[in-house]
Amino acid sequence: MLNHYPLWKYVMLVIVIFFGLLYALPNLYSEDLAVQITGARGGSASDQTLDQIHNILKQENIQSKSLILENGTILARFANIDVQLRAREAIMNKLGKEYVVALNLAPTTPHWLRMLSAEPMKLGLDLRGGVHFLMEVDIDTMLDKLQKQNSDSPLHHDLHLSEVREYAIEQNINILRNRVNQLGVAEPLVQRQGYDRIVVELPGIQDTARAKEILGATATLEFLLVNTGIDPTSVSNGNVPNDSEVKKTQEGQQVVLYKHVILSGDHITDSTYSIDDYNQPQVNIMLDSKGGKIMSNFTEHNIGKLIATLFVEYRDIGKKDTNGRTVLVKHEKVINIANIQSRFSNSFRITGINNLNEARQLSMLLRAGALIAPIRIVEERIIGPTMGTQNIKQGLEACLWGLIASILFMVVRYKKFGLIATSALLCNLILIIGIMSLLPGATLTMPGIAGILLTLAVAVDANVLINERIKEEIRNGRSVQKAIHEGYKGAFCSIVDANVTTLIKVIILYTVGTGSIKGFAITTLIGIATSMFTAIVGTRAIVNLLYGSKCIQKLSI
């Protein structure tokens, strides 16, 4: 029978549109301006901290919409940006450096939608606001480090300078991504730019303090043998051989260590923190196979000797060199000295850490990975939520006017069939937004909005092809039912061909593009799929309901 759909197709269509609408719904809810409070150096907030913040806001006569503690983080929501900034300033002044107080944006999605994993679309930096960093990799420091600790390692002996630089930058990019993911920053952009620089964008974060702590930390561990043949009290007289150097413990005591690094943090694959039998914090280390073999071989041949754990980090001291670059100063301290009583395996533990918060922070940084080369921030830029809101407004206006223009054209040109095409356009937009909200890796940017506009144009084009083919069949003397059937059938191949060629271009853009180009490609790719579905299946279902199995002499087209 011509122009007839079985029941299951109608049910499928209703289900698809229902779920598209359901997952697009969270985007109707706005975001609250918020202040986020977490402990410094990996610490966490507590109920006591919550009470303290409540009292601070009360004393400063600052009204919050809500104040909650969840997973060691306090989130305070406020009505406008002025109140938000006042609250941040007051909390920072009272809490001091023990906590990180950051501006943020908090979604207002209802609980019942969150229970269904329905969240708003993830917005890029240009739409949501956030922090942009341009970082420079310190290759010279890295080469000195490699020369010192890998003088007998074939891995770096055989690498040329360009290969070492490529290795350092790629590893740093991977480590930065791991750090951001460990700390829950949603949809970051971490990519290379030019010769030795890395771009990092963190949407939704408005405060650089927390972001710097996340990204700039260069903490790692080195394991070195203690030179017990030198009296530490005599080093002031210059009695230190060339193969050794003096380091200090956390208590300020001097220790003489051999310069040769037995093992560095590069080989650490996992790290956790816990409390030992003496109620002291410790960090549990897991090495990769190569690191485990190195440590096992070394300790097997050095039983009875002392091995030191050296904590190393590079700090920004606020000075610039002659080229205007930030000066990074290396800080080292011995946090543990142990007697090698037996051969180590690929897992062991480190004690001697001051407190549990430091153990937690060190564990997190080691687990995410030690930076292969230190990085310096050469540019930082905050894109405020106001600018992001303006971009969203302009993008929505562009979509709205494009949609209105398409609807007017379709209705004037094709009458009732134009209204049917309009319903398909609206469903298409809902499905795009729903799928973008549902996909974990999809982020909407301004180029992404351009991709949505392009797919709306493609959807209109598909409906134009169908309607023109139906009109052509009627002019050729076909009956109404036959004209509808042949119109959809004839237009199908043209629609598929046009969309496949666009699809090929989009896949190429996604493959070779970066950042905003990928965002454009993703939205266009989703839009092509939904526009084909709504133009071919959706409009056909409506036409079949209105005209199928009926004796129609004239079409409103």
Condensed to tens digits (0 to 9), the pLDDT of residues 471-523 reads 998 888 888 888 898 889 888 888 888 888 888 988 998 888 766 787 788 88
Q: What confidence score (pLDDT) does residue 252 get? A: 83
Q: Answer yes or no: are the C-beta atoms of 467 and 151 closer than 8 Å.
A: no
Average pLDDT of the segment spanning 256-268: 85
Beta-carbon neighbour count of residue 343 at 10 Å?
14
Which CA distances in Å does 30 have to 27, 63, 110, 448, 508?
A: 7, 19, 11, 20, 35
Cα dihedral 460, 461, 462, 465, rounded to 10, equals: 120
Which CA distances in Å does 74 have to 101, 122, 191, 240, 266?
A: 10, 22, 31, 51, 34
Average pLDDT of the segment spanning 265-294: 83
SS3 track for 166-209? HHHHHHHHHHHHHHHHHCCCCCCEEEEECCCEEEEEEECCCCHH
- Under DSSP, is residue 491 helix (H, G, I), strand (E, B) or coil? helix
pLDDT at residue 23 greater than cutoff 90 = yes
Two tokens at 167?
A: 């290795």
Two tokens at 217?
A: 């930390």
pLDDT at residue 155 greater than cutoff 70 = no
Q: What confidence score (pLDDT) does residue 157 get? A: 47
pLDDT at residue 249 greater than cutoff 60 = yes
Q: Answer yes or no: are the C-beta atoms of 256 and 244 closer than 8 Å.
A: yes
Two tokens at 230?
A: 């030198």
Average pLDDT of the segment spanning 409-418: 90
Q: What confidence score (pLDDT) does residue 16 get? A: 94
Percentage of the chain beyond pLDDT 90 is 11
Q: pTM of the full predicted structure?
A: 0.63
**Segments in 183-318 forming alpha helices (H):** 208-216, 289-300
pLDDT digits (tens, 9 = 90+) for 160-219: 667 777 877 887 888 787 777 655 555 577 888 887 888 888 876 655 666 676 676 666
In terms of Cβ atoms closer than 10 Å to its own Cβ (0-12, 13-18, 19+), residue 496 is: middle
> Rounded distance, CA 445 to CA 434, Å?
16
Among 6-15, 23-32, 236-245, 537-546, whose mean pLDDT is lowest? 236-245
> Rounded distance, CA 311 to CA 315, Å?
13
Q: What confidence score (pLDDT) does residue 449 get? A: 84
Average pLDDT of the segment spanning 14-27: 93
Average pLDDT of the segment spanning 98-127: 82
∠ at Cα 84 (80, 87), nearest 5°? 140
> Rounded distance, CA 191 to CA 538, Å?
40
pLDDT digits (tens, 9 = 90+) for 296-348: 999 889 898 988 888 887 766 667 777 766 677 778 888 888 888 888 888 88
pLDDT at residue 440 greater than cutoff 50 = yes
Average pLDDT of the segment spanning 127-141: 80
- Under DSSP, is residue 394 helix (H, G, I), strand (E, B) or coil? helix
Give the length of the chain: 557
pLDDT digits (tens, 9 = 90+) for 27-80: 888 888 888 887 765 567 888 889 999 999 999 899 999 999 887 888 899 988
Q: Which amino acid is at 306?
A: L
Give me the chain's average pLDDT, please.
81
Q: Which residues of 83-99 are buried (b: 16+ CB within 10 A; e: fewer)?
A: bbebbbebbbebbeeeb
Average pLDDT of the segment spanning 436-463: 83
Percentage of the chain beyond pLDDT 70 is 85
Average pLDDT of the segment spanning 140-153: 60
Q: What confidence score (pLDDT) does residue 517 get? A: 81
